[in-house]
Structure 1
């Protein structure tokens, strides 16, 4: 059951699913209603989310954070395809008996969220796609060299995160430094870093998902859930134009682009994004 904990105090829990994976997760927030499951970014884990964003979301709903197979403190080997990641996430949902959820996917997590919504349409009530793109979309086959080199370092640090996630303006960089302080605030029961195997599998999956294929874009028309698509206006990893593309192809989609922001717009504009997500999920 959800707890009165916050992002910083919620304990890490474990559940073993039918696929033999022991999933690490945290569950907290306001009881009642449809739980919101959050899927993290490339190499992301339970502690790479912004506590300010999560606590604002948790004021009105129950949150479930999870490490998918092989990621950080979850067992197993990380798969190299989005389809396999989606199947693994479904196994986790079944283990917790979560039969109806709202789903928020950030970046690579947004790829997985789209796939889950297509595989199990009856299990996803509403969908939030943040800083992400559709399978087969243009200009998505891997990241440009400076971005890929930064995020694929063995141990990327603050400099790499500020460079890749925030716009090179004074205001966006200041917001990035503030985020760094918030997400490092948890000092006990922190998640373990993701492995290099996860890094490589995630990037293989990113590249395979991003091979340009116009036919695969038609899959978006089968996402029938109300969908909120959002990004920053200067995302260097996933072109914001792809948010508009998804908005045009998903039948019940609405799109918002946040100003002066990059890939980490949801951390820079955490209060506004949380309010937008809560309003969308409550509509």
Structure 2
């Protein structure tokens, strides 16, 4: 099987005129492909290859850069709804009629919108480090988080501080994950996401978090089974929002991973991939 750290980047032209960069691993097994939706400032290179390979053991997995992100053309949208429309354009361009979604952080917001915009397209949904639109307390991130990952230049120290806990186990897991993410690929790297993408994505995150109790009612429209997941010590999107999300969705299960922060799915990549596989195959 082709592995994520060596698979080449492909490009597909969508109906909106955007050239979307993507990577595909795994095989068609008769189940819907799993489309990955990336976190704030992340591109194709920021997925943990060990996680993607574990997910691809039983299905096709597709990661992509949304409009204006990484190697995809265009300008990054500043609303989650527009990002969802861009993702739908990409999925349509690949000729996929039905997919599973795994949205991580900002990508989890996009996954919710895709399910609301195009419900017939979506089979099952995994939401990692997520929150519902309009939840109180989500209007922007804590200054310490922005200082760590929101500056013009990102740093390994800031990444580790937000994505992993400060315990010995968390620090070790962070170093191991960073080694996989930033060292295993030897060629075909993308340029880091630019400042326009950072600004637009943070605008989208901030708008998503404007307190609005009525927005929570929109979740009733997501009828697909949903697996809500989080780290118990996430400083970026607190795990209480996962509990809120799971309680509002009509058909949801939840799991909180121990001694883990925003990057819990990389820290616990084997367990998380097994949990996702069990959920998608149910």
TM-score normalised by structure 2 residue count: 0.98
Residue 152 of structure 1 and its aligned partner are, at CA, apart by 1.2
Aligned residue for 2:44, secondary structure, equals coil
| Match in the other structure for 2:230 | 231
Query: Superposed, which structure 2 residues align to 1:158-237 within 5 Å?
Result: 158-184=156-182, 185-237=184-236
| Match in the other structure for 1:23 | 20
Partners in 1 of 2:15 and 2:259 — Cα distance?
A: 44
Deviation string 1:180-200 (CA, Å, 9 cap, x unpaired) is 100121011112211110000
Aligned residue for 1:24, secondary structure, equals strand
Deviation string 1:117-158 (CA, Å, 9 cap, x unpaired) is 011111000000000111001211111101112211222121
Could you tell me which of 41, 45, 51 is aligned with 1:47? 45
Residue 30 of structure 1 and its aligned partner are, at CA, apart by 2.3
| Match in the other structure for 1:257 | 256
Q: Is the 2:232–2:239 Cα contact (8 Å) retained in structure 1?
A: yes
Q: Is the 2:18–2:72 Cα contact (8 Å) retained in structure 1?
A: yes
Partners in 2 of 1:153 and 1:177 — Cα distance?
A: 21
Aligned residue for 2:132, secondary structure, equals coil
Runs of 4+ in 1 over 4 A off after TM superposition: none
| Match in the other structure for 1:8 | 5
Q: Is the 1:50–1:182 Cα contact (8 Å) retained in structure 2?
A: yes
| Match in the other structure for 2:54 | 56
Q: Is the 1:139–1:239 Cα contact (8 Å) retained in structure 2?
A: no
Q: Is the 2:21–2:71 Cα contact (8 Å) retained in structure 1?
A: yes
Aligned residue for 1:31, secondary structure, equals coil
5+ residue gaps in structure 1? Answer: none
Partners in 1 of 2:177 and 2:250 — Cα distance?
A: 34
| Match in the other structure for 1:122 | 120
Partners in 1 of 2:266 and 2:59 — Cα distance?
A: 19
| Match in the other structure for 1:35 | 33
